[in-house]
């Protein structure tokens, strides 16, 4: 029996944005056959993570997904839900609010900035601003991407792939020092779990370089794009049946619940959703075919295929909680689809 290192990962109780936490548990087992079922429940001090009082501090970690640990070849990353000692979900446990639907397919596009030790985006001058944005998106060369940014991004990609995280792509984004990775998953939880683990891997990696990750949706005022987390989604009905009537009812529902969606899409989104920089205003709802300035972008392929396929909600922001984002979309879509059953 070998010693296996399990890195339990969870979301703490800070609001409006929870931080990732982790700690290591050593167990014995066969590294080649080890599975999620072999991961035990584990406790932690919730009073140190704003999830319990000091007088009654026990919280529990329930393993929900396991990934090979690319940092340690003799271990696994264990995504976990926070539970109360009686086995019920902790109030901060947003994962527990999602219905399990294996036919809900989700792709999330995580944007972020990489910051140096002075708190400036990589590649920015020490004082002032770089050249205006426009040349940096998918840019190549030191002038456009800086010195170590691509090295970090490429290493992050390799670490995620080694962990079984289903990346679909990476690219430099519109602002200098801004990057994006895209993750896809089949099932209500799959993409959400993987985005949190990918965030964790990026944070761990950046420790080596003395670099920090800025997830805020609009960290720099002015003529700079904010950071989003566009959500591409489809249900079995949307992929296989669809139809114009269904699509129109769906858009009516998204407009009806626009405020509820914004509430679930990440804090301070009013700084990003201004109607500029490829966004719709936060107080409006719109959809458009191939329109990157709409709330919902409808791919040409969706319309050409008889209103079947997937849709992209462009409102979620980079700090958003994937569980809350997907849960809200799932709720709205389910309400419409029950009338088409």
CATH of the domain at 268: 3.30.590.10
- What are the tokens at 179? 């990057």
pLDDT for 224: 83
pLDDT for 278: 85
Distance of alpha carbon 6 from alpha carbon 22, whole angstroms: 10
pLDDT classification of 53: cutoffs 50, 70, 90: very high
- What are the tokens at 8? 């339990």
pLDDT for 32: 94
Q: How many CA atoms lie within 13 A of 19 on its CB side?
A: 10
Q: What is the mean pLDDT of residues 275-300?
A: 94
Q: 259 with 285, same domain?
A: yes
The verdict on residue 83 lying in a domain is: yes
Average pLDDT, the chain: 96
- What are the tokens at 2? 């070998």
Q: pLDDT above 70 covers what percent of the chain? A: 100
Whole-model pTM? 0.96
The verdict on residue 119 lying in a domain is: yes
Q: What is the pLDDT of residues 243-266, one digit of tens each?
A: 999 999 999 999 999 999 999 999
Domain count, the chain: 2
pLDDT classification of 222: cutoffs 50, 70, 90: confident
pLDDT for 277: 79
Phi, psi dihedral angles at 282 (to 5 degrees)? -65, -25
The verdict on residue 99 lying in a domain is: no
Determine the length of the chain: 341
pLDDT classification of 129: cutoffs 50, 70, 90: confident
Pairing of strands 75-83, 2-11: parallel
The beta-strand segments (E) located in the chain are 2-11, 20-29, 42-45, 58-68, 75-83, 105-115, 167-172, 178-186, 212-214, 229-234, 287-289, 296-298, 311-313
Q: 253 with 291, same domain?
A: yes
Q: Are residues 297 and 288 in contact, defined by beta-carbon separation less than 8 angstroms?
A: yes
Q: 200 with 76, same domain?
A: no
Q: Mark which of 69, 93, 117 sits at the end of a domain.
A: 93
Distance of alpha carbon 100 from alpha carbon 188, whole angstroms: 6
Q: What is the pLDDT of residues 224-246, one digit of tens each?
A: 889 999 999 999 999 999 999 99
Crossing angle (nearest 10°) for helices 190-209 and 149-162:
140
Q: Mark which of 93, 123, 151 sits at the end of a domain.
A: 93
Q: 209 with 314, same domain?
A: yes
pLDDT for 146: 82
Q: 57 with 191, same domain?
A: no
Please name the residues in contact with 283: beta carbons below 8 A apart, sequence gap of 6 or more: none
Q: Does the pLDDT value for residue 1 go beyond 90?
A: no
Q: 118 with 85, same domain?
A: no
Q: Mark which of 46, 63, 93 sits at the end of a domain.
A: 93
Q: 202 with 280, same domain?
A: yes
Higher pLDDT, 324 or 130: 324
The verdict on residue 98 lying in a domain is: no
pLDDT for 127: 84
Q: What is the mean pLDDT of residues 287-306?
A: 97
Q: 46 with 122, same domain?
A: no
- What are the tokens at 150? 């691509």
Domain ranges, residue 150: 105-340
Q: 29 with 115, same domain?
A: no
Q: 166 with 281, same domain?
A: yes
């Amino acid at each position: 029996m070998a010693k296996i290192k399990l890195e339990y990962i969870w979301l703490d109780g800070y609001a409006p944005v929870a931080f990732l936490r982790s700690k290591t548990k050593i167990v014995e087992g066969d590294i080649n056959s080890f599975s999620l079922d072999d991961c035990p429940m584990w406790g932690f001090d919730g009073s140190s993570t704003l999830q319990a009082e000091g007088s009654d501090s026990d919280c529990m970690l329930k393993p929900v997904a396991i990934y090979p640990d690319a940092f340690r070849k003799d271990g696994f990353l264990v995504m976990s839900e926070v539970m109360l000692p009686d086995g019920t979900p902790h109030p901060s446990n947003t994962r527990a609010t999602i219905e399990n639907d294996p036919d809900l397919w989700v792709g999330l596009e995580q944007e972020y900035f990489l910051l140096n030790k002075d708190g400036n985006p990589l590649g920015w001058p020490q004082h002032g601003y770089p050249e205006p944005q426009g040349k940096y998106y998918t840019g190549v060369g030191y002038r456009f991407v800086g010195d170590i940014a691509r090295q970090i991004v490429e290493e992050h990609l390799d670490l995620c792939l080694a962990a079984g995280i289903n990346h679909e792509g990476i690219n430099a984004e519109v602002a200098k020092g801004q990057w994006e990775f895209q993750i896809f998953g089949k099932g209500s939880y799959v993409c959400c779990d993987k985005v949190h683990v990918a965030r964790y891997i990026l944070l761990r990696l950046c420790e080596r370089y003395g670099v920090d990750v800025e997830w805020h949706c609009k960290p720099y005022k002015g003529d700079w794009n904010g950071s989003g987390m566009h959500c591409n989604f489809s249900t079995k009905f949307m992929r296989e049946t669809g139809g114009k009537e269904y699509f129109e009812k769906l858009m009516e529902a998204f407009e009806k619940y626009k405020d509820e969606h914004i509430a679930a899409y990440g804090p301070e989104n009013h700084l990003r959703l201004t109607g500029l920089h490829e966004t719709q205003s936060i107080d409006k709802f719109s959809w458009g075919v191939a329109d990157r300035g709409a709330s919902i972008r409808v791919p040409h392929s969706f319309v050409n295929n008889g209103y079947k396929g997937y849709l992209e909600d462009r409102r979620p922001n980079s700090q958003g909680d994937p569980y809350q984002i997907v849960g809200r979309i799932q709720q709205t879509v389910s309400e419409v689809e029950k009338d088409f059953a």
